A and B are shown apart, each in its own frame.
Chain A
């Protein structure tokens, strides 16, 4: 079936460096994408979203890039901080009411 997957299960970065978390999706009908951050023991928290009519969207220290040609999504975090340590999920939606979530990438920030 259709699925969203992640290339790296764990990413370790030095504090202050930039982080890039990648995601591949396979449903060509998906046209809305969301990144979530989940800290241990908490519910996922919305970070940023992007619709398929855009290639890039920026937030505060975060940027999402969408490459529809290769069905690839990435989340870039600038100047990574210890508080960014968490599991990050990409998700996709088509015209239905449901989101399909990837398996997650754990980001570890080294002091």
Chain B
């Protein structure tokens, strides 16, 4: 069966510090991968998605970037965090075709102080 992991689970970082959040998927190959951000009490905002290694599509201009160095690894990064980067970051995958259910990881809660 497929499993999706995210780490860390919780992170407190000072403004201006770098960020690296990691997401990995097990039990599948060639998945589509997604990064979302969720503000407290709000819906999900799609940040990036990837349909293959090295292929990244950005949905909103922002202080973040994404990379996919391996088939089942998706990384969300920032060189300098802003207060507004605080939120709940969710990684998701689906089986590599359009119009398929996305399956979410447990999330990383980021607090920028």
Residues of A at the B interface (CB closer than 8 Å) are 31-32, 34, 36, 41-46, 49, 51, 89, 93-99, 101-104
Min CB distance, B105 to chain A, in Å? Answer: 5
Of B12-20, B39-47, B60-68, B77-85, which binds chain A?
Answer: B39-47
B99 near A103: Cβ-Cβ < 8 Å: no
B99 near A31: Cβ-Cβ < 8 Å: yes
A32 near B104: Cβ-Cβ < 8 Å: no
- Starting from the known contacts A46-B103, A98-B46, 8 additional A-B residue pairs (CB-CB under 8 Å) come to A32-B99, A43-B106, A89-B43, A89-B44, A95-B98, A97-B98, A101-B43, A104-B42
Residues of B at the A interface (CB closer than 8 Å) are 32, 42-44, 46, 49, 51, 59, 90, 92, 94, 98-99, 101-107, 109
B43 near A43: Cβ-Cβ < 8 Å: no
| Chain B residues whose C-beta falls within 8 Å of the C-beta of A104 in the assembled complex | 42-43
> How many residue pairs, one in A and one in B, have C-beta atoms under 8 Å apart?
48
Q: A89-B43, A102-B43, A103-B42 are in contact. Are A41 and B109 (CB under 8 A)?
A: yes
- Find the A residue at minimum CB distance from B94: A97
CA distance A102 to B38 in the complex (A): 12
CA distance A42 to B106 in the complex (A): 5
Consensus secondary structure, chain A interface: loop
A43 near B90: Cβ-Cβ < 8 Å: yes
**Mind listing 15 A-B residue pairs with CB under 8 Å?**
A32-B99, A34-B101, A43-B92, A44-B90, A44-B104, A46-B103, A97-B49, A97-B51, A97-B94, A97-B98, A101-B43, A101-B44, A103-B42, A103-B43, A104-B43
CA distance A81 to B97 in the complex (A): 35
Min CB distance, A91 to chain B, in Å? Answer: 8
CA distance A20 to B109 in the complex (A): 30
